A and B are shown apart, each in its own frame.
Chain A
Amino acid sequence: MYLEILFWIFATLLLLFLSTLFTVGIFLLIKGIQRKMVGLSCLGIGFIVIPIGFVGNYILDIYPGYLFQEIFITIGFILAVIFTNLTFYKNRKSPAKLILIVVIVLAIIQLIFHGMMAIERTPLIYYLKVSFDLPYNFLVFNWMAWSSYSAYKIVKNQDIEPWIKVRYRLISILSFIMSFHGIPEFFQPYDILWGTPSNLISVLVFGTTAVLAVIFSVGFLLAWIMPNWLKKYLNRNYQPVKDSEFTEEELMTLIRKQLSERRNNGNN
């Protein structure tokens, strides 16, 4: 009885995670299309397809096991890495391409193991799967976390609106937290499906993952769809720049005048 209540609490959290992620995904996709930002659109699609995979697996019961869900998660994770590469690493020397290739390889390995487990769940296949799942999750989310943190270190002392700096920090902290969501899987009994309500360990593993996922998705919702009152609060000690409107001629005259004054001062 208590186990079942616990299960439904965690299932509610999972639903909250899925709906929040879907909302953020739709928002990012719309913004990405409006602003012609390929990277942002990728992240938006990635966040939309993950809930579709879960819903397909749980509600429609399309396939036994988690292969169907995993296909959608794979697409989502690869698109998240593409977002990171396109947002932070254009024209930069970095391991961005290598990380994308490694993530794709690990994703294929995951799909193979899920396919094998749909046929037969053995301890060897299960623990091999979770052993490869750990570096897979680590790479996808810590790459995003590290990239955002590195960018934050560059902008933190610059004249940038504080709410933007908070967004960088949220992305890096939340992605870092999410990178650990593969660890609970090691404690999952190999012969029991993830989230089975009749098994205590399975429910606890399910719950831990659900809590991590909710922290990630709600945090991302806050980071990307930040309410105006929060932006204003974070900017409370910041004086935003408001440029006067000049015509081209006025501006060039002003620049020439300033240059001339500086040159004369320099000569004197």
Chain B
Amino acid sequence: MEIIKLLGNKLAEKINISSPAGRGLIKLAIKDELGPFKPLNQLEFNDFKNTIANSLKIRLEKLEISSTSEIIDLLLNILTQNQSLITIGVV
């Protein structure tokens, strides 16, 4: 999914890990937030928003990433700006 790729790549850039690891971290946070059975192509804007604000934040804090709040705000902003990808980039 393009929106996961976009968020994961930006996350990777901000915390200095590889892009696949960044995308993987986003997917893990989605699993934490919504459970393992929700298909990625059925995620809505609010699912992503809650995932970033809650589960991803917890994951980043556990990894002892500094400036977690800044990163979360940045990702929420990227999500809002690129929200149409959830629809236009999936169907």
Contact = CB atoms under 8 A, between A and B. Distances in A.
Interface of A: 28, 31, 34-37, 39-40, 87-88, 90-92, 147-148, 151, 154-155, 158-161, 164, 167-168, 171, 224, 241, 243-244, 246, 248, 251-252, 254-256, 258-259, 262
Given A164-B89, A246-B24, A251-B24, A159 B5 contact: yes
Given A31-B91, A35-B90, A255-B17, A154 B81 contact: yes
Interface residues of B, number: 36
Interface of B: 2, 5-6, 9, 15-21, 23-25, 28, 31, 41-42, 44-46, 49, 63, 65, 80-91
Nearest to A262: B16
Contacts, number: 98
The 4 residue pairs across chains A and B that have the minimum distance between CB atoms: A262-B16, A258-B17, A151-B84, A251-B24
Given A255-B17, A259-B63, A262-B16, A164 B5 contact: no
A176 B82 CA distance: 21
Contacts of A243: 20, 23-24
Contacts of A252: 28
B18 A258 contact: yes
Interface SS of chain A: helix
Contacts of B63: 255-256, 259
Given A28-B91, A35-B91, A164-B89, A151 B45 contact: no
Given A90-B80, A159-B9, A243-B24, A37 B44 contact: yes
